[in-house]
Amino acid sequence: MAVPKQQSQSGQAAHLGEQELGQPAECCAAAQAENAKLKTELAKLQADNAGFRQRLEQLERQVGLNSSNSGKPPSSDGC
């Protein structure tokens, strides 16, 4: 992620990122591009999370099943 320059105590420009940015418009465009990329990544992670939650609920239901609340034979209780 590109970070704009800051002035150091000695008055020289200190680069906070690996990429040097020139004008404020370039900085703004870079920040907007990074923001769009992060929003896309966030949406993917949120979708992944929803799938994992759904799978967890399914597995928790399976763990809660026993011979009295499913079609499983009594011999499978405790396994």
Query: What residues form DSSP beta bridges with 6?
Result: 14
Q: Which two tokens stand for residue 65?
A: 């099943």
Angstrom distances, CA of residue 21 to CA of 7, 10, 18, 57: 14, 20, 10, 47
Question: First CA to last CA across the chain, in angstroms?
Answer: 50
Q: What is the pLDDT of residue 79?
A: 60
pLDDT band at 1 (very low <50, low <70, confident <90, very high): very low
pLDDT digits over 21-78, tens only? 567 888 899 999 999 999 999 999 999 999 999 999 999 888 887 778 777 788 877 7
pLDDT digits over 10-32, tens only? 444 444 444 555 678 888 999 99
Distance, in Å, from the CA atom of 18 to the CA atom of 72, rounded to the nearest integer, reads 61
Q: pTM here?
A: 0.54
